[in-house]
A = this chain, B = another copy of it.
Amino acid sequence: MTTNPTPTDETDDRVLQRTAAHLAERYDGIFSPDLVERIVYESYTTLHRTARIKTYVASLAGNFAESRLRSLAYSKGLLQRPLPQVLFVCAENAGRSQLAAAALAGIAGDRVEVRSAGARPGEDVYPEVVELLRERGLDAEHAYPKPLTDDVLRGADYIVSMRSGDEIIRYPGKTYLEWDIPVRAEVSAANVGSVFEEVERHVAELWSTIEAKVAEDEPDLPQPLEPA
């Protein structure tokens, strides 16, 4: 049984081509156009594989590819890394790591760049998680399950994994943390509040550590010269 190409994928293909051209221009002199195109298309295929709703995949792929390229450019020293880079990883990137990313963005605002990823990305962020984020006025619009990629891992300064049994690749020069936040079967409407509070406590502590490190790394103010 042979089926024909669906019109949706042809529309997606045009969106991806435009996205790739746009990002190739933005990263001109940093990455080759063929690399940029590949990251856009592989982002699309990998999200398409797991996303329940396929309608938004092409635009999410653009967003994901942009984040990956920026991260890769930081890791290679091709763009100045202006802010501490924090990556949260859990099993599906549907609950715990999404809550942690939103909590840190809520606390630290634009003083940090936050990403999240899953070892085996789920179909969608849990509806209870989306609802909780909205209730608390946190960003739920940019939350979608993403796979853990090499570029994002390499670009991070802090990598926090939740208890998931998944082993994460260790690159030198980074801070790896593991938080003991179990899946509890699944984040449900009944427990999402308590999971979030637990995550938020950890996130607040992490943010104090990062802030202290940033202050320590900042060069001292120039001292007035003593007359000789």
Cβ 8 A contact of A42, one of B41, B50, B151: B151
- Is A18 positioned at the interface, with any CB of B under 8 Å from its CB? no
Known contacts A120-B49, A120-B50, A177-B1; is A149 also within 8 Å of B42 by CB? yes
Count, chain A residues at interface, CB 8 A: 45
CB of A88 to closest CB in B, whole Å: 15
A164-178 vs B, Cβ < 8 Å mask (1 yes, 0 no) = 001101111001111
- Is A46 positioned at the interface, with any CB of B under 8 Å from its CB? yes
Contacts of A129 in B (CB 8 A): none
CA distance A154 to B41 in the complex (A): 10
- Is A111 positioned at the interface, with any CB of B under 8 Å from its CB? no
- Is A153 positioned at the interface, with any CB of B under 8 Å from its CB? yes
Cβ 8 A contact of A171, one of B1, B3, B5, B154: B5
Cβ 8 A contact of A34, one of B12, B31, B42, B147: B31
- Is A203 positioned at the interface, with any CB of B under 8 Å from its CB? no
Q: What residue in chain B is nearest A178 (Cβ atoms)? A: B1
- 23 sampled A-B residue pairs with Cβ under 8 A: A1-B177, A2-B176, A2-B177, A4-B170, A5-B170, A5-B172, A9-B171, A10-B172, A13-B171, A32-B32, A32-B34, A38-B72, A38-B150, A41-B150, A41-B151, A42-B149, A45-B149, A45-B150, A45-B169, A46-B149, A49-B120, A49-B148, A50-B119
Q: State the 7 A-B residue pairs at the shortest beta-carbon distance, nearest first.
A: A5-B170, A45-B150, A32-B32, A41-B150, A35-B35, A9-B170, A5-B172
